Amino acid sequence: MEYFSGHISKLIEELSNLPGIGPKTAGRLAFHILDMPAEQVESLANALTDAKNNVKFCNKCYTLTDSEVCPICASKERDQKTIMVVETTRDMAAYENVGEYKGVYHVLHGAINPMLGIGQNDIRLKELFERLKDDVDEVIIATNSSVEGEATAMYISKVVKPIGIKVSRIASGVPVGGDLECVDNVTLLRALNGRVSI
């Protein structure tokens, strides 16, 4: 039996489709939105629509941005010869929050996962290897410590090492099976500083 009108139920249902939002949290968010002034709700709706319509991939690193090249790739302050490879934009944001890494990134948008039919051609590996034709000194592999992340790291290492570019992997400290976006800054920094060649 439905407790609320169709509009409220639909709002709760849509909010509960977001990751990490269960029915109770979706209900709390829905009632909070309904209590907000109309201008705030409109601003929220516009921000969602604008982000969806205007955010695209950076032409260099494939993170999400609203310009052709993201601010990190465009920065003259960043070491363009050191590329950290991550699975998602959220992983990149986790390292940026640490505030110590001064190189650039490459976002794969996934990891090799044969069980799900995701191979090397299904993630942004071709684009990474194309970037390595430029002047690159080191590739830091910061994929998650999962079976898929490790398989992806080994594949990258196997392809990049013969080119003569230094390849390193972030050190342990990041829990096996854990996602980088959930790890605290100290652990992320320790993992970055303790990376080892593979």
Same domain, 87 and 150: yes
Q: Are 104 and 72 in contact (CB under 8 A)?
A: yes
pLDDT band with cut points at 50, 70 and 90 for residue 54: very high
Same domain, 147 and 119: yes
Tokens 């090799």: give the residue: 112
Tokens 């909010």: give the residue: 15
The residue ranking higher by pLDDT, 180 or 84, is 84
Note the pTM of the prediction, 2 decimals: 0.77
Alpha carbons 145 and 182: distance in angstroms, whole number: 13
Alpha carbons 54 and 46: distance in angstroms, whole number: 12
Q: Is 161 helix (H, G, I), strand (E, B) or coil?
A: helix
Choose among 142, 23, 134: nearest CA to 85. 142
Same domain, 168 and 146: yes
Same domain, 127 and 104: yes
Alpha carbons 14 and 24: distance in angstroms, whole number: 13
The 10s digit of each residue's pLDDT in 105-139 is: 999 999 999 888 998 899 999 999 999 998 999 99
Same domain, 86 and 140: yes
Amino acid in position 136: V
Q: Is 86 helix (H, G, I), strand (E, B) or coil?
A: strand
Alpha carbons 170 and 4: distance in angstroms, whole number: 50
Share of the chain above pLDDT 90, in %: 66
Same domain, 11 and 78: no
The 10s digit of each residue's pLDDT in 143-156 is: 988 889 889 999 99
DSSP 162: G
Alpha carbons 58 and 128: distance in angstroms, whole number: 13
pLDDT recorded at residue 191:
76
Q: Which domain holds residue 167?
A: 64-197
Mean pLDDT across the chain, nearest whole number?
Answer: 89
Number of structural domains, the chain?
A: 2
End-to-end CA distance of the chain: 58
Q: Are 82 and 101 in contact (CB under 8 A)?
A: no
Same domain, 167 and 129: yes
Same domain, 108 and 26: no
Mean predicted confidence (pLDDT) in 168-188:
74
Same domain, 77 and 38: no
The 10s digit of each residue's pLDDT in 83-114 is: 999 999 999 999 999 889 999 999 999 999 98
